[in-house]
Structure 1
Amino acid sequence: MSKLASEHGMLKSTVPVKPRSFEALGLSKSLVVALNSMAIRRPSQIQIACIPQILKGRDCIGGARTGSGKTIAFAAPILEKLSEDPFGVFALVLTPTRELALQISEQFAALGASMNLKQAVIVGGMDMVTQGLALQKRPHVVVATPGRLADHISSSGEEAIAGLRRIKFLVLDEADRLLTPGFAEDLEVCMGVMTKAKNRQTLLFSATVSQSVMQLKESSENDIFIHEVGSNSISIPDTLGQTYLFIPTHVREAYLVSLLTLPLNEKKSAIVFVNRATTAEVLKQVLRIMDVRVTSLHSQLSQRERMDSLGRFRAEAARVLVATDVASRGLDIPVVQMVVNFDIPADPDDYIHRVGRTARAGRAGESISFVTEHDIVRIKAIEERVGKVMTKYEHVTESMVIRHSLQQTSNAKREALMDWERENSGSSRRKRKIEQRR
């Protein structure tokens, strides 16, 4: 991270954000046709602001709420430039999660369908040898998580990484997350093989432009364009209702069952966010026992399991997704109508990313946060960050929970914990860890 910070600064600029056509932004007819085929006909504010500046050769920092079209804001100008001078590894996109990498790859594939675009997705949970061979073929676009790409740089040999030395575009998607200490070491390894900053364009995009992103303005030889839509208080869409339930810790599962099975909610798709993978698995089993169509998504699942789980939820085969913050950033799941914070995140920005899974692209949505006696400080920090006080959720009451779900959910939780302990004991746990590494 320190190397990246030393390479970049920024020059603040503003542009008009009146609705215009993609042609007026400088995109070719073939890309406009591809966008139309994706049902994208009018550019969003971040696309209007950033696409022309990127086409002019400027570095870019783009901040806008979730669902605003940030991926197209960097993918479209990259493919426009690629069509002018196609060669080797033209662009590298780094992103914090496997799921987001796969989603970005899908959008590049759709947008570049008429260009014979070659790309590679380099993420954990997949075969290293196959990925190394894919890198040797010098795809136009590489979409990767920093950890897995750093593994290839360290172990796959010069043939696999040579193409990275001449890239024209480096994209950090969900940049605020990538510029945290947890990614610093791997990011340094990735940066070490790339062309110097002055010889490439660097594009940083995120729903929340954190201090670590803004600190990149310290020193730079490059002309960096910044576009940040609004202030902290409007990082949350106006169409999102933010509510809370103040409840004791030990009965949260019963309140969740009552919430999800209310007549007004029983058909709604929902993501239930938790802070730990163990909680996600136990809660999934509790809801399954209580006849809720549910699946889970977290880092302890194999890549195939993660893809299958996300696919089931997108196809509405599962109505509820219990997930850690693996699912909080960037994933485009249009059917989400409700977000439940079963656990309150420590970082207010994580809350913004979580609730951003609903109320996307102008649609209505709601979030309900389960607040215990231990969460008061976190809730106050969240309310200060988003500039709005949560209101009480009135449709679930203590008497309702006691009458309809408390005893049954307690029994289901006991059964789920016993099942989890059996599955995670001894040889079963070792076998699963081996499968996850393959």
Structure 2
Amino acid sequence: MPFSSLGLTPALAAAMVQQQFSTPTPVQTGAIPPAVAGRDVLVCAQTGSGKTAAFALAVLQRWTPPAASGARRPQALVLVPTRELAVQVGGVLSTLARAAGLPAKISVVFGGVSINPQLMALRGGTDIVVATTGRLLDLVDHNALQLQHIRCLVLDEADRMLDLGFADELDRIDALLPKQHQSLLFSATYSAGVRQLAESRLREPVEITIKQEEQAAPAITQHAITVDASRRTQLLRHLVVQEAWPRVLVFVATKYAAEMVADKLRRAGLQAEPFHAQLSQGKRTQVLADFKASVVQVVVATDVAARGVDIAGLPVVVNFDLPRSATDYVHRIGRTARAGQAGMSVSFVSADTAAHFALIEKRNGVQVPREAIRGFEPEQVLPVVSADQAAGGVKGRRPSKKDKLRAAGLLPPLA
């Protein structure tokens, strides 16, 4: 099925072909026609499924040039959880608009940098705004943006926005929008929070859920390597060198861990940089640019900083620290195997995290065989955890406090 069959103009369809995308992904096939027709759309599909291009094409298709004598007023608003994702989405919109010959003005605004350049850039008006929620509200408070003419609202990575605590800001923004507007909601997971968000903001939406096996992108090869927690950095360096990984994105739990692991890797001879929310925007931008150019081989990142990072051709993602949730696991490993390319994820599992990884497997419906690397076999014995024993297991079957006390011999057993 060609892009031209989705209700797009020939120029936009040709723009996708120009970007080396000959046929639409299942997400694009399902979402673009109703979005172009003005319907509300709810999309649940994993990272790397083509969601960004889906809403970018719909937004550009429905964009109308301002009158020759009229001021530019924002017609579409795309809300994202992080600055890196804002830059990425703005880049996709700008590239497609330019390739299609559309003179739409696209503004990307986010916090963590001075507001003054963004105020100046908005003086002449704009057509499409890509924003993080906090900075958008700041600009509204400065009278630099007015939202009463928005015709289309896009919530990208809605689950991440809720996880980061942006629900109140979303409510404030919603109150500034016209009552009649189109809403497009995109999420990698369909949590209870996302369902509630959709029910409160979308009107009779077209619902599209793309399961992993339906996606055109190759499956990510997942590995779980058992190792003592104290030897993870040594194992990481060994794998990077032994496997000759040209680039690897490593996830850790904290800013301190990002700095520490990157420093140890540098002292071991690897080009490594930390990537976390406490870095300046300039430093974060430079690290990503160097990573994309293969000047930096290893980026050690926290979840908050890395959300929305899109590195073409990233071959490997490593979970140095396991993610807090099964949802975070999906987002992490989705940084690889993008745009139809193959990819690999590696998770380090130690004695104290074995049960947590079993829970991640259970909730994502996967089983990843445990492996050991010669010379790095764990000295601590890993417990064997079944799916039913995983913490946070099947509702109604988790042990109660009394069950735990009985198991410890502190209460008499049941008769």
TM superposition score normalised by structure 2: 0.84
2:95 maps to 1:110: yes
AA partner of residue 108 (structure 1):
L
- Residues 1-400 of structure 1: matches in 2 within 5 Å? 20-83=1-64, 88-113=73-98, 114-154=101-141, 156=142, 158=143, 160-162=144-146, 164-180=147-163, 182-196=165-179, 199-216=180-197, 218=199, 222-230=203-211, 239-262=219-242, 265-326=243-304, 328-398=306-376
Task: Give the conservation status (yes or no) of the 8 Å contact 2:226–2:371.
Answer: no
Q: Indicate the residue corresponding to 2:386 in structure 1.
A: none
| Matched position secondary structure for 1:24 | helix
Q: Indicate the residue corresponding to 1:424 in structure 2.
A: none
Note closer, same or farther for the CA distance 1:212–1:237 as it changes in structure 2 (3 Å cut): farther
Task: Give the conservation status (yes or no) of the 8 Å contact 2:79–2:131.
Answer: yes
Task: Give the conservation status (yes or no) of the 8 Å contact 1:348–1:382.
Answer: yes
AA partner of residue 19 (structure 2):
M
Note closer, same or farther for the CA distance 1:136–1:301 as it changes in structure 2 (3 Å cut): same
Task: Give the conservation status (yes or no) of the 8 Å contact 1:60–1:203.
Answer: yes
Task: Give the conservation status (yes or no) of the 8 Å contact 2:49–2:217.
Answer: no
Instruction: Tell me which moved more, 53-62 or 203-212.
Output: 203-212
Question: After superposition, what is the alpha-carbon deviation per residue over 1:52-77, rounded to whole angstroms, capped at 9, x for unaligned?
Answer: 00111111111222222111111111
Q: Considering Cα pairs closer than 8 Å and 6+ residues apart, tell me whether 1 or 2 has the greater RCO.
A: 1
Task: Give the conservation status (yes or no) of the 8 Å contact 1:208–1:235.
Answer: no
Question: After superposition, what is the alpha-carbon deviation per residue over 1:182-238, rounded to whole angstroms, capped at 9, x for unaligned?
Answer: 112322232232112xx111111122222211224546782211101027x889976
What stretches of structure 2 of length at least 5 have no aligned partner? 380-415
List structure 1 runs of 4+ shifted beyond 4 angstroms. Answer: 84-87, 217-221, 233-238
Q: Indicate the residue corresponding to 2:396 in structure 1.
A: none
Q: Indicate the residue corresponding to 1:7 in structure 2.
A: none
Task: Give the conservation status (yes or no) of the 8 Å contact 2:250–2:319.
Answer: yes
- The sequence identity of aligned pairs, in percent, is 37
AA partner of residue 145 (structure 2):
I
| Matched position secondary structure for 1:39 | coil
Residues of 2 paired with 1:64 and 1:85: CA distance? 34
What stretches of structure 1 of length at least 5 have no aligned partner? 1-19, 402-438
Question: After superposition, what is the alpha-carbon deviation per residue over 1:21-73, rounded to whole angstroms, capped at 9, x for unaligned?
Answer: 11110111111222222212211111110100011111111122222211111
Task: Give the conservation status (yes or no) of the 8 Å contact 2:77–2:129.
Answer: yes
Task: Give the conservation status (yes or no) of the 8 Å contact 2:313–2:341.
Answer: no
Structure number having the greater helix percentage = 1
Report how far residue 161 of structure 1 moved. Answer: 2.4
Residues of 2 paired with 1:396 and 1:340: CA distance? 18
Task: Give the conservation status (yes or no) of the 8 Å contact 1:272–1:342.
Answer: yes
Report how far residue 330 of structure 1 moved. Answer: 3.8
